[in-house]
């Protein structure tokens, strides 16, 4: 059973994105024995930057971060002072509406400002969780590889569809999150020596099939020879073509870009695609997290409140506060 002594409380945090790392950090500072399990090789989830060769980096997931609450503004401002984030001020085209919020990006990568939060944490990468179930001693976690482990408490911060699978034996959790929906997104990454024939460095929904186009090399710390673009397809297009082969997706997305430029595209020096199955929250939960009645299992993420990185931050902090209060 769980001990009242924080130093003996074991907590498993599933997922090393913004929610998971924010929550794990707060629990670690409070004296809990925290282990973070991440199925990939790095931090940040959709705050992802792909490295190509020695010099080229491309942000293919979240494109920027806004901060509206005092707590998150303070967090991002501290990151800027530390040099792990910076405000991005792209040139907008004549037809683009001005933005009211500052656009922050991690520097030199989107997840850079998370790394200080991860210092000291026990993070186990390439650890894919298969199930989370009660075992009488606490919560038993099984993995795709390796032996099962048991923890006093668990915080699950995976995408909502994955949470439904992992927590299939918890009917209260499943019922509470059943109406949450998250849309997919196909992303195109392209680099060329010549520039695209478009007005501005950012185009928001230039066509029905494209939701976003941005010149990645205009972001702080991402200088590159030539022109580097990230294109996000619309929700409808992504959903209709979700199971498309990745090479076919490149050709299809390049054709969509060609319609925006109104002509032949420059020869690419790099092109790739990425399928985000869980990219943008459509119907959020409406609260920062959901928990079991005994306060030993918590489920959260940006999908709880909406499609913003700030909501992931708020979810992680809210879970940590509730867990500490429940002890």
Tell me: do 67 and 192 sit in the same domain: yes
pLDDT at 5: 54
Strand order in the sheet with 268-283: 202-204, 210-215, 227-233, 181-192, 268-283
pLDDT at 94: 80
Same domain for 214 and 274: yes
**56 in the same domain as 41:** no
Tell how far CA 82 is from the center of its chain.
22
- Quick one: how far is CA 97 from the chain centroid? 26
174 and 41 in a common domain: yes
Residue 207 and residue 300 share a domain:
no
Instruction: Give how many domains the chain has, as a whole number.
Output: 2
Q: What per-residue confidence (pLDDT) applies to 3?
A: 42
pLDDT confidence of residue 227: 92
Residue 268 and residue 151 share a domain: no
Do 140 and 257 belong together in one domain?
no
Structure tokens at 64: 């920027």
DSSP letter string over 116-164? HHHTT-EEEES--EEEEEE-SSSEEEEESSS--EEESEEEE-S-HHHHH
| pLDDT for the residue numbered 81 | 97
Strand 10-14 relative to strand 33-38, pairing: parallel
Domain match, 293 and 275 both: no
Quick one: 139 and 174 in the same domain?
yes
* 127 and 92 in a common domain: no
**Which residues make beta-bridge pairs with 131?**
142
Name the residue range of residue 138's domain.
1-46+111-180+287-327
78 contact partners, CB below 8 Å, separation of at least 6:
none
pLDDT recorded at residue 8: 76
Specify the pLDDT at position 43: 92
Quote the tokens at residue 248.
Answer: 């076919």
Pick from 304, 311, 270: nearest CA to 289: 304
* CATH code assigned at 305: 3.50.50.60
Compute the Cα dihedral for 82, 85, 86, 87 and give only its sign: negative
- For each of the chain's 327 residues, which pLDDT tens digit applies? 344 456 579 999 999 999 999 999 999 999 999 999 999 988 999 999 998 888 889 999 999 999 999 999 999 999 999 999 999 999 998 888 888 899 999 999 999 999 999 999 999 999 999 999 999 889 999 999 999 999 999 999 999 999 999 999 999 999 999 999 999 999 999 999 998 989 999 999 999 999 999 999 999 988 777 899 999 999 999 999 999 999 999 999 999 999 999 888 999 999 999 999 999 999 999 999 999 999 999 999 999 999 999 999 999 999 999 999 987
CATH number of the domain within which 232 lies: 3.90.660.10
Distance of CA 196 to the CA centre of its chain: 28
Report how far apart the first and last C-alpha atoms of the chain are (Å, whole number): 12
User: What is the pTM (predicted TM-score) of this model?
Assistant: 0.93
Same domain, 256 and 147: no
Residues 103 and 166 in one domain: no
């Amino acid at each position: 059973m769980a001990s009242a002594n924080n130093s003996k409380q074991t907590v498993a945090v599933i997922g090393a994105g913004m929610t998971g790392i924010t929550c794990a950090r707060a629990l670690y500072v409070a004296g809990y024995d925290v282990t973070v399990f991440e199925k990939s090789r790095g931090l940040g989830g959709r705050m992802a930057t792909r490295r190509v060769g020695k010099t080229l980096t491309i942000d293919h997931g979240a494109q920027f971060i806004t901060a509206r609450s005092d707590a998150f503004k303070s967090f991002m401002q501290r990151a800027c002072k530390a040099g792990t984030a910076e405000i991005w001020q792209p040139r907008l085209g004549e037809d683009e509406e001005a933005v009211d919020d500052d656009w922050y990006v991690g520097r030199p990568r989107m997840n850079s400002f998370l790394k200080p939060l991860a210092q000291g944490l026990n993070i186990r990468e390439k650890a894919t969780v298969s199930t989370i179930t009660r075992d009488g001693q606490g919560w038993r976690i099984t993995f795709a590889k390796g032996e099962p482990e048991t923890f006093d408490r668990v915080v699950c911060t995976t995408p909502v569809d994955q949470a439904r699978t992992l927590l299939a034996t918890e009917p209260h959790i499943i019922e509470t999150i059943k109406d949450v929906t998250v849309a997919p997104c196909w992303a195109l990454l392209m680099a060329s020596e010549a520039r695209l024939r478009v007005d501005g460095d950012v185009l928001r929904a230039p066509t029905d099939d494209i939701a976003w186009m941005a010149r990645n090399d205009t972001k702080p710390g991402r200088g590159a020879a030539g022109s580097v673009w990230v294109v996000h397809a619309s929700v409808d297009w992504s959903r209709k073509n979700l199971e498309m082969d990745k090479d076919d997706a490149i050709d299809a997305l390049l054709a969509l870009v060609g319609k925006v430029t109104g002509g032949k595209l420059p020869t690419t020096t790099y092109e790739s695609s990425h399928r985000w199955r869980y990219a943008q929250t459509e119907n959020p939960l409406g609260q920062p997290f959901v928990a079991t009645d005994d306060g030993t299992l918590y489920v959260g993420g940006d999908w709880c409140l909406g499609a913003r990185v700030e909501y992931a931050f708020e979810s992680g902090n809210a879970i940590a506060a509730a867990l500490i209060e429940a002890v």
